[in-house]
Structure 1
Amino acid sequence: MSIVHLQNVEILNAEAKFSDPYIFKITFECISPLEDDIEWKLIYVGSAESEQYDQELDNCMVGPVPVGVNSFEFEAAAPSPDKIPAQDLLGVTVILLTASYKDAEFIRVGYYVNNAYETEEMRENPPEEVDLSKVRREVLVSKPRVTRFNIKWDSDEKPAPPASADADGGVTSNGFNSVEVS
């Protein structure tokens, strides 16, 4: 049984310039005390061809985590374009928001991201070299792919088999606890 339940992930700037940071508001419930902090990461998939182009945009440790509903904002820098193959700068890719406890990933939320020129004219007649100052990203927030992994929590003896599900929207709650992001 999972001790931490993700309730809602809101991307505060789903449509933005390619170079703008990603800003998330994450709400989760903790149903039992935890000994350690939770690590959150945002990964940008630079190319479908190879993981070598994946970039960890940022990570943060959240804790101590009190029992109850917790919420925090997580901001991650935009990907470094020089680490992405030129042919993969435009078009559809993926970002992955992950959460781990004691180095064991227990949830992953994936979103499709479309990087395209701002104007129809530039989309139809793109310059030879990609001009990222004129590229906007759009995160498809309505269809996240949520994968849950059963892990060994503090009081568990052994992890259960993995589980997976598609998210069809989050649940929001009132009465948030404050959590420290470091």
Structure 2
Amino acid sequence: MSIVSLLGVEVKNNPATFDAPYEFLITFECHESLQKDLEWKLTYVGSATSNEHDQELDSVLVGPIPVGVNKFEFRADPPDLSRIPNNEIIGVTVILLSCSYDDREFVRVGYYVNNEYTDEALQLEPPAKPIIEKVRRNILAEKPRVTRFAIKWDSEEQAPPEFPPDQPEADLNADGDQYGIEEEEEEEEEEGEGAAPAEGEDAAMAGADDTAGPAADDDAASEAGSEDIEESEGEDEEEEELEAEEGDDMEMDDAAPANGDQSHPKQPAQPNPDVMVH
């Protein structure tokens, strides 16, 4: 449990010019008596790519701290332009308001800050060297980012547990017990399961080939049967009647003349001209 709880931060004089001081109204609660003061500090992030341009704008010691709710105003100077690259002055940056006890930081509040020109022409074509008197600063006070840290206060009993905890058993794991082994085995099982349908498909296709063989033989037998029918047209009437019965089984129209005249070979039936075939 933290001995000091931050209840709220009100950002004053916002928006303001770039060279105006920063002003905050800070409210916090102290749950127990403290032997030392609290140190509040404001830091300006001068570059998004390097912390070399960060600068502490101001710091203040607050104490002695009475138990209960406390409130005070914190005022800090604007950043030093000579420590900020020219291409980093205009745009979005961050300020950090932090509080420490006995050089141990326990709370930090971060705000986005947008620095932009008030002149529309300068917004469209910003000069290489910024014109500071025409730059406006706007702190996004509605969306602070608060981070809290567990620290030791005045006694060892108030110290937080060691983190991360000691894990001596971690060195006792077998050599094959490595992180990610289970994931790899699961991936291999999934790959094996994914290959099974492919083999099933191949088996199904092979079965189709097996079934295709007799079908081709049936077609060959049908063709052979049709050839036998044509060759038997010149034989006697008994074979001709047998031929007509086999033609009915094969869904072929009987083209033999009704009077039993065998002088002409049997012709295939002609389609009806009134029927449209699609």
Name the TM-score class by shorter chain: 0.7 to 0.9
Contact 1:14-1:140 within 8 A present in 2 as well:
no
Matching of residues 116-135 of structure 1 within 5 Å: 116-135=116-135
State the number of aligned residues.
162
Match of 2:38 in 1: 38
Report the 3-state secondary structure (helix = DSSP H, G, I; strand = E; otherwise coil) of the residue aligned with 1:78: coil
After superposition, what is the alpha-carbon deviation per residue over 1:53-103, rounded to whole angstroms, capped at 9, x for unaligned? 000000000000000000000000000011001110000000000000000
Matches within 5 A, 1:4-43: 4-43=4-43
Greater helix share, structure number: 2
What CA distance in whole angstroms lies between the structure 2 residues aligned with 1:68 and 1:161? 29
CA contact (8 A) 2:107 2:146 kept: yes
Q: Deviations 1:8-41 (Å, cap 9, x if unpaired)?
A: 1001122100000000000000000000000000
Higher relative contact order (CA 8 A, sep 6+): 1
- 2:104 maps to a residue whose letter is A
Is the 8 Å Cα contact of residues 37 and 65 (structure 2) preserved in structure 1? yes
More strand by share: 1
**CA, structure 1 residues 160+108, in 2 after alignment: closer, same or farther (shift >3 Å)?**
farther
* TM superposition shift of 1:161: 6.9
Amino acid in the other structure paired with 1:110: G
Percent of pairs identical after alignment?
Answer: 57
In the aligned structure 1, how far is the partner of 2:144 from the partner of 2:79?
A: 20
Contact 1:96 1:109 in 2 (8 A): yes
Residues 151-166 of structure 1: pairs in structure 2 closer than 5 A: 151-157=151-157, 158-160=159-161
In the alignment, is the contact (CA less than 8 A) between 2:36 and 2:101 conserved in 1? yes
**3-state SS of paired residue (1:123):** helix
Q: 1:74 and 1:19 mapped to 2: Cα distance?
A: 17
Q: Is the 8 A contact 2:86 2:128 kept in 1?
A: no
Runs of 4+ in 1 over 4 A off after TM superposition: none
Give the distance between the partners of 2:22 and 2:113, measured in 1 at CA: 11
Q: Return the letter of the residue paired with 1:120.
A: E
5+ residue gaps, structure 2, are 164-278
The structure that has the greater radius of gyration is 2
How far, CA to CA, are the matches of 2:113 and 2:28 in structure 1?
A: 24
- Compute the TM-score of the two structures, normalised by the length of structure 2: 0.57
Corresponding residue number in structure 2 for 1:83: 83
- State the shift of 1:160 in Å: 4.3
1:32 partner SS: coil
> What is the CA distance between 1:125 and its match in structure 2?
2.0
Measure, in 1, the Cα distance between the counterparts of 2:153 and 2:44: 28
Q: CA deviation at 1:49?
A: 1.1
Across the aligned residues of Structure 1 and Structure 2, the Cα RMSD in angstroms comes to 1.2
